[in-house]
Structure 1
Amino acid sequence: MKDEFDLIAKLLQKRPPVDKSVEVDVGDDAAVYRPGLGMSQVITCDTMVESVHFSEQTMAPEDIGWKGIASNVSDIVAMGGIPKHAVISLAAPEVWEEESLLRFYDGLGAGAKHFGVTILGGDTVRSMKGLVVTITLVGEVERDCSLRRSNARPGDIVFVTGPLGGSAAGLHLLLREDTSEWIVRYPSLVAFHQRPYPHIEAGRVLSTLGERVAANDVSDGLGREAREIAEASGVRLVIEPSLIPISPETVAYGAEIGVNPLQWAFDGGEDYQLVGTLPAQSWERLLHLAKEKEVSFTQIGWVEEGEVGVYCIDEGKRSLLSYKGYNHFA
């Protein structure tokens, strides 16, 4: 890279069209946009660091861009919101050629377009070692309709919105020495890890249901995310592992290498599905709305009074879930 500003101009060409809510676009010191009438703003920030979140072996530049947007979108979805505007901070080392950075922005732009996000600029600097990407995403949700981890109550149903464990299985596959053979046999596992699809409509169904709903996105494993709901709400979550949806390829790959796929579901993370709770009397209405919007919800347990935590029940026997999940400083 010879010139920072020439690179910025090329990167900006990769953006999807700017939406009508933007009053001042790139070119001034800051962007200006109008929030929707009657909406509250939702803001989140996520960072991806080379050798921590990705490597040349596990993700192409386009995948890094896509996943950077998707991980932030998932946070907005978990609040029941609509993703709107993003700013991107990119710290690039000298070994990252301009072509690779443009490919990164191709993936970023494709993800932004798919999820309806307008990129309003950001910052570009030199990194001494490794690519570092930080994305701040702003979304909107109807006033007083955001989903909260603290909303779970005894008697609620515990649900998830889609299959779990696929991303961790995909990462395991990509880190193998003989990975090329396995990629051909289990392509969906690679996709789960490299190109996640958080379901905006699932969050929207929950936030507009008019009920008390708790939700959390499964970025650090089902065990940790369920525990966060239990702690925030002061309740006990009981999960039946046999009810957890797991894709056929995740099950097949686990069987072939001798790993229980539930381990990936509970401790893996980066599935970007939702785990949540809602009153049992609202479950059938949720399923009806979900069918109309073509999204899925699966009951995996219930909420009860008792010592705060997450318990698993298998063949009538209960055990306290000893979760791991992803922890940057563990």
Structure 2
Amino acid sequence: MDEFASIHHWTGARQSAEWQQRRGVVLGIGDDTAIVDVGLAEEGVAAPKRMLLAVDTMVETVHFNDATMREEDIGYKALAANVSDIAAMGGVPLHALVSVSVPRAWGPERMRRLYDGLYACAERYGVAVIGGDTTSSPEHLVIAVTVTGTVEAALALRRSSAMPGDAVFVTGAVGMAAAGLHALLAQRVDGAAEAAHPIIVQAHRRPAPSVRAGRLLAAHGLGCHALNDVSDGLASEAWEIAEASGVRVVLHETELPRSGSMAAYASETGMDPLEWMLYGGEDYALLGTIDKTSVIAALELFRKEGIPFFLIGEIEAGDAAVELVRARAAGVSHSGKQEKRVQLAKRGYNHFKR
């Protein structure tokens, strides 16, 4: 198939015209430029609104390979990464532009399955796929997705707004995606990891952006100050908040939420789950800070919505830093002394670290 036939094969009849019109799409896939009416893009949201824009790229052998991801999972995750960035602003994702560079090894049906996963994510989060670009690639697949969204001008949540005295929270367990990747790489027999550890493998292959949590934090007057998504690891995201806000982030080891599936797999393999939790990434839970006077209201609202909400630390005045209060060792008396604090390394996934 030529370029245009391929695009039609991958994208044709995936989303009805009526469905796209509800997202404000005037002209979608077919022309070189899409047309979107932002004023009609989200019903029930009062103006003024701000447009949000996010882009993410996934490269074969860097972000995924045949041992860890199926074609459908690659498409799903490529869109989910951007949806998560919109969620971290408290916004609503609306539209996606998808660019792919396709090598010969990725024939029409492999690409069709990739788009199956991408559209599954789009349907779950209400995203209209409205265009993109297609080129050839000499060796590896590259997929780049740009997502637009909106948020009320007064409600956008940033990394730079944490304040001393805030409580620190996270909206889900962390470390699961990293544990899933470890399992996939360790158990190379096709399907073995998925059969033995389905929950953590699913967490790696199809992480769930926290769009509803972001909207609750933005739109319900909960006193949320700073927000970030856990894409590169909890420690890395905490450092981003600390540096952007000029504060010290203090996390408590005993309060960090651990998945039972992750903890069981760590015990089975002799791995340290804290390493996955702090430095693994790709969980897409939201890490943020909230006025302590709003904590009870936030806990109650999230409980009613059935969304996790864990208090894991606090914000202190001081030079930008991230510290972890370590758990006491069993049977060790501290004679009333403070538990030991350690500064967390400013690391997570870094493409250019040598």
- Residue of structure 1 equivalent to 2:32: 29
Summarize deviations over 1:255-291 as a string: whole Å, max 9, x none.
Answer: 1111111100101111111111011001111112212
Letter in 1 for 2:28: D
* 1:12, distance to aligned residue in structure 2 (A): 1.8
1:104-161 Cα shifts (integer Å, max 9, x gaps): 0000111100110000011111011100000000001011211110110110000000
Out of 208, 224, 231, the residue aligned to residue 219 of structure 1 is 231
CA displacement 1:155-197 (0-9 Å, x = unmatched): 0000000010000000011111455444322110110000111
**Could you tell me how far apart the structure 2 residues matched to 1:30 and 1:135 are?**
15
Conservation of the 8 A alpha-carbon contact between 1:201 and 1:293? no
User: Identity over the aligned pairs, expressed in percent?
Assistant: 45
Match of 1:229 in 2: 241
Counterpart Cα distance in 1 of 2:230 and 2:30: 37
Query: Counterpart in 1 of 2:127?
Result: 117
Give, as a single letter, the amino acid of the residue that structure 2 aligns with 1:319. Answer: V
Aligned residue pairs, count: 329
Question: 1:87/1:181 Cα in 2 relative to 1: closer, same or farther (>3 Å)?
Answer: closer
Deviation at 1:27, TM superposition (A): 2.5
Structure 2 unaligned blocks of 5 or more: 40-46, 329-338
Post-superposition offset of 1:101: 0.2
Q: Work out the CA distance in 1 between the residues paired with 2:193 and 2:117.
A: 24
Match of 1:248 among 239, 244, 260: 260
**Kept after mapping to 2: 8 A contact 1:267/1:323:** no
Kept in 1, the 8 Å contact 2:235–2:279? The answer is yes
In structure 2, give the amino acid aligned to 1:204: R
In the other structure, the counterpart of 1:291 is 303
Letter in 2 for 1:183: E
- Does residue 329 of structure 1 match 2:329? no
Greater shift in the superposed pair: 313-322 or 161-170: 313-322
Task: Judge conservation of contact 1:149–1:216 (CA < 8 Å) in 2.
Answer: yes
Aligned counterparts of 1:221 and 1:201: Cα–Cα separation in 2: 21
Q: Give me the whole-angstrom Cα distance separating, in 2, the residues matched to 1:303 and 1:23.
A: 45
Partners in 2 of 1:120 and 1:183 — Cα distance? 33
The equivalent residue for 1:19 is: 21
Moved more, 189-198 or 175-184: 175-184
Query: What amino acid maps onto 2:103 in structure 1?
Result: P
CA contact (8 A) 1:16 1:112 kept: no
The 10-residue stretch of structure 1 (307-316 or 15-24) with the greater mean CA deviation from structure 2: 15-24
Shift, 1:16, TM fit:
2.7
The answer to whether the 8 A contact 1:221-1:266 is kept is: yes
Contact 2:217 2:224 in 1 (8 A): no
Q: Could you tell me which runs of 5 or more consecutive residues in structure 1 were left unpaired when the two chains were aligned.
A: none
Alignment-derived partner of residue 56 in structure 1: 66
Cα distance between partner residues in 1 of 2:273 and 2:187: 21
Q: Do the aligned partners of 1:218 and 1:275 also contact (CA within 8 Å) in 2?
A: yes
Q: Secondary structure at the match of 2:38?
A: coil
Query: 1:189 aligns to what?
Result: 200
Conservation of the 8 A alpha-carbon contact between 2:160 and 2:245: yes
Normalised by the length of structure 2, the TM-score is: 0.90
Compared CA separation, residues 289 and 41, structure 1 to 2 (3 A): same
Shift of 1:38: 2.5
Q: Please provide the CA RMSD for this pair.
A: 1.3
